[in-house]
Amino acid sequence: MKYLLPIVLTATTAPALAQHHHKASAHAEPTDAAAQKRAQDPHAGHDMRQRPLSQPTDKHAGHTPTNGAPSAHQGHEPGVPDPPIAGPSATAFSGPIHAADAIFGAQAMAPARDTVRREHGAITSGTILIDQFEAVIGKGQNGYAWNAQAWYGGDIDRLWLKTEGEGRFGESPETAEIQALWSRAINPWFNLQAGVRHDFRPVPHRTYATLGLQGLAPYWFEVDSALFLSNKGDLTARLELEYDQRLTQKLIVQPEVELNLAAQNVPELGIGSGLSTAELGLRLRYHFVPEFAPYVGVKYERAFGDTADFRRVQGDKTSGWNFLIGIRSWL
């Protein structure tokens, strides 16, 4: 039976297998000669249509050996069973390390070998993302805000820069910070980031040692979290969560949460201990191209606890809504 099937197949496939000596050169443009030749061909006009051999011809066909232990070999292919997994023989290690050295010389091959290694995995790249660059429109308090980052490096280690800040139109920023971080991938989705943060505003300036975790959490939440230890010994923390919900391929609504926390009061900066401020944002952006997406949005910000008290003392509001118009862009 095992041998019968191929024979039957060969017989039924005769038309396309017809042993008619073909030379590419023998057939020129469409001519009547070609048609005549075809007419003489006993197989001409045969219906070549046939069933594909979707069934294996092997006698083990369809067998699905299952063994108790889960392994990569479950759901086995039909045919000759896999021999045991084994390493190469000692003979496979014989001879020169690099075969081409004997022909072209080790000197010629060495730089090429270095290139081929680098060109297959050692990619360095970078990007600049202006996540938020927006006008903040509130009750008589119109202003601006930005949040941007850039990185450069390989798959694992990267230099990562971040900056954010805000202010009122016509005035210098109320807050402005920049972070320079070394970023190291610690799992498929998250990077551990360590470095420094310097706040140019508010005054007095602060410099912080920074340790953070940035990445992609389950269900596609973008997470950016960090601890900051200031040069005055104050410990604060920030947690940002973003989620992109596509409405269409180009229209995307992005909810965002930002929480700021502090381990102690920092009165000169208006920071109270515990949960100091929280911000909820919702931005609706349109991707003209992925690299350029204007948006409109709203955000609600609120100060808590002592932070709220500090603000009241200053005569500032402790919570409020703002409308946003901005641009998200990257390259």
Partner 1 sequence: MTYRIERRSLLRAGAFGVASFGVTSLFPAWAHSGSPGLKPARTHPPLSGEDIHLTIANTDFTVGGRTGHAVTMNGVLPAPLIRLREGQNVRLHVENTLDEDSSIHWHGLIVPFEMDGVPGISFPGIKPHSTFVYEFPVRQSGTYWYHSHSGLQEQQGHYGPIVIDPADPDPVAYDREHVIVLSDWTFLHPHHLVTKLKAEGGYFNRQKQALFGMMRSGPEESMSASERAMWGQMRMDPTDIADVTSATYTYLINGHGPKENWTGLFRAGERVRLRFINAATMTIFNIRIPGLPMTVVSADGQNVRPVTVDEFQIGNAETYDVIINPMVDQAFTLVAESIDRSGMARATLAPRLGMTAPVPALRPRPTLNMKDMGMGGMEHGGHAGVHSTSHGAAIKAGGDHAMAGMKMRDKSKVPDSVKVGVGVDAIAMMPVDRTGDPGLGLEDVGHTVLTYRDLMALTPNPDGRPPTRTVEVHLTGNMERFMWSFDGEKFSEGVEPIRFERNERARVVLVNDTMMTHPIHLHGHFFEVVNGHTGSYPRKHTVNVLPGGKVSFDLTADAPGDWAFHCHLLLHMHAGMFRVVTVRPLDGDGA
Cα 142 to Cα 270: distance, rounded to the nearest angstrom: 21
Cα 35 to Cα 17: distance, rounded to the nearest angstrom: 19
**In the range 94-113, which residues lie near partner 1 by CB under 8 A?**
94-96, 98-100, 102-104, 108-109, 111-113
Note the residue count of the chain.
331
Which residue of 1, 11, 40, 84 would you call a contact of partner 1, by CB under 8 A?
A: 84
Q: Alpha-carbon dihedral of residues 164, 265, 191, 251, nearest 10 degrees?
A: -40
Supply the minimum distance, in Å, between the C-beta of residue 228 and partner 1.
26
- Nearer to partner 1 among residue 268 and residue 291 (C-beta): 291
- Nearer to partner 1 among residue 117 and residue 205 (C-beta): 117
- 8 near partner 1 (CB under 8 A): no
- Nearer to partner 1 among residue 115 and residue 172 (C-beta): 115
Q: What are phi and psi of 254, to 5 degrees?
A: -125, 105
Are 163 and 199 within 8 A, CB to CB?
Answer: no
Cα 318 to Cα 308: distance, rounded to the nearest angstrom: 5
Cα 291 to Cα 176: distance, rounded to the nearest angstrom: 25
**In the range 34-53, which residues lie near partner 1 by CB under 8 A?**
34-35, 37-38, 41, 43-45, 48-53
* Degrees, nearest 5: CA angle 71-72-76: 100
**In the range 111-140, which residues lie near partner 1 by CB under 8 A?**
111-123, 125-127
Supply the minimum distance, in Å, between the C-beta of residue 90 and partner 1.
9
Which residue of 1, 4, 7, 80 would you call a contact of partner 1, by CB under 8 A?
A: 80
Are 198 and 219 within 8 A, CB to CB?
Answer: no
- Nearer to partner 1 among residue 155 and residue 174 (C-beta): 155
Supply the minimum distance, in Å, between the C-beta of residue 236 and partner 1.
29
**In the range 238-257, which residues lie near partner 1 by CB under 8 A?**
245-249, 251
Cα 259 to Cα 281: distance, rounded to the nearest angstrom: 12
Supply the minimum distance, in Å, between the C-beta of residue 220 and partner 1.
6
- Nearer to partner 1 among residue 178 and residue 185 (C-beta): 185
Lookup: tokens for 30: 């469409």
Which residue of 83, 140, 204, 233 would you call a contact of partner 1, by CB under 8 A?
A: 83
